[in-house]
Amino acid sequence: MGKLSVNLCGIEIDNPIIPASGTFGYGYEFADLYDINMLGTFSFKGTTKDPRFGNPTCRIAECTAGMINAVGLQNPGVEKVINEELPKMAKVFNKKVMANVSGFAIEDYAYTCQKLDACPEVGWLEVNVSCPNVHGGGMSFGTDPKAAAEVTRAVKAVTTKPVIVKLSPNVTDIVAIAKACEEAGADGISLINTLLGMRIDLKTKKPVIANTMGGFSGPAIFPVAVRMVYQVAHAVNIPVVGMGGVSTAEDVIEMMLAGATAVEVGAANLIEPYACRNIINDLPKAMEKYGISNLKDIIKGA
């Protein structure tokens, strides 16, 4: 059997499969279906400093080869996550978990990351810079290299664990932003977050999503994700976590060839709750088919 383990920012994980934030809750929701300890790790639901109710409904729209969502970072806030969610998670998951953090100001990111950095359950901090910059007119931190770097520096100043910055694909130069994060001290980059999409109901002649637009994910965005992972992985010297439309073991191999050290699986979890389990089980056979004995050997192999 081929070797599936990889090293992500200094932490060895059994395999590269990571359920993406927002598609796997806090893990225990899936623990009744299968042993989630078979996962490399998982990125839990996006956490903010304060509780958020999220956007009004309708929040989800189906579309060809994907879906659009505008949940709006609904979460109980970092204090409740630490005091209530992580203890429940620890009962069913005995590995380090990835904490996904969002914010609306640099101080929010720093506060939330510092709190989560102190949690023994947390192995990595995945910092989502796709949120609006409240002090910068509402533009996403992740669309500007300088702003993304400022968030990275602020988080690194108050944490000791690996910081992986999650980038938005809704930009013209993804490489410039990734390099700015690396120079600011990021330990890794994860991409891509969702593309911006929209659907219109022909009967009502109004947008399906109450928020008008939302994040487009699913198999349709996979080629865009592979392209961006390839570009970033060949421009930085830190690990890249690839995601975007991944749903099969073959997709994982392709993403790793493009340059990903680990691979997150998102929308597929919402369609098939056993998606990550199935991918892990299928990986050895796919590796044998393509003559791969060690997944570490194919990273950035394309």
87-104 pLDDT per residue, tens: 999 999 999 999 999 999
The amino acid present at 54, given as its one-letter code, is G
DSSP state letters, 128-155: E--SB-GGGTT-BGGGSHHHHHHHHHHH
Domain-embedded: residue 189: yes
What dihedral do alpha carbons 158, 121, 119, 112 form, nearest 10°? 60
For the cut 80, the answer to whether the pLDDT of residue 135 exceeds it is: no
pLDDT of residue 137: 61
The pLDDT > 70 percentage for the chain reads: 98
What's the pLDDT at 72? 87
Is 131 one of the annotated active-site residues of the chain?
A: yes
The predicted model scores a pTM of 0.96
Amino acid in the structure at residue 127: V
Mean pLDDT over residues 253-268, rounded? Answer: 98
- Would 116 be classed as within a structural domain? yes
pLDDT (0 to 100) of residue 127: 97
Across residues 61-73, what is the average pLDDT? 92
Helix (H, G, I), strand (E, B) or coil at 114: helix
Residue 139 scores a pLDDT above 70: no
Give the tokens for residue 115. Answer: 């709190």
Q: How far apart are CA 142 and CA 177, in angstroms?
A: 7
Residue 158: inside a domain, yes or no?
Answer: yes
Whether the per-residue pLDDT at 138 is higher than 80: the answer is no
The whole-number average pLDDT for the span 123-137 is 83
Phi, psi dihedral angles at 12 (to 5 degrees): -80, 130
Domain assignment present for residue 269? The answer is: yes
pLDDT class for 130, splitting at 50, 70, 90? confident
Per-residue pLDDT, 299: 98
| Residue 134: per-residue pLDDT | 65
Catalytic pick from 113, 131, 181, 276?
131
In a domain, 70, yes or no: yes
For residue 1, tell me if it sits in a domain. Answer: no
The rounded distance, in Å, linking the Cα atoms of 84 and 87 is 6
The residue-averaged pLDDT of 219-225 equals 98
The answer on pLDDT for 176 being more than 80 is yes
Q: Say whether pLDDT at 159 is over 90.
A: yes
Q: Which long-range contacts (CB under 8 A, 24 or more apart) does 139-144 make?
A: 140/168, 140/170, 142/166, 142/167, 142/168, 142/171, 142/177, 142/193, 143/168, 143/170, 143/171, 143/177, 144/177
Q: What is the structure's pLDDT at 2?
A: 85
According to the model, what pLDDT value does residue 13 have? 98
131 belongs to a structural domain: yes
Instruction: Tell me the per-residue pLDDT of 281-292, one tens digit each, with 9 for 90 and over.
Output: 999 999 999 999
Asked if 141 and 133 count as a contact pair (C-beta separation under 8 A), the reply is: yes
| CA gap 133, 143 in Å, rounded | 10
Distance of CA 41 to the CA centre of its chain: 12
Question: How many domains does one find in the chain?
Answer: 1
| Distance separating alpha carbons of residues 270 and 247, to the nearest angstrom | 11
Which CATH number fits the domain that encloses residue 83? 3.20.20.70
- Dist. CA 24–CA 266, nearest whole Å: 8
**Domain residue limits at 290:** 6-298
Mean pLDDT of the chain: 96
More confident residue, 134 or 188: 188
In a domain, 287, yes or no: yes
Please name the helix (run of DSSP H) or strand (run of DSSP E) that holds residue 206, with its range, or none.
strand 206-207
In this structure, are residues 252 and 281 in contact, taking their beta carbons and an 8 Å threshold? no
pLDDT at 140: 87
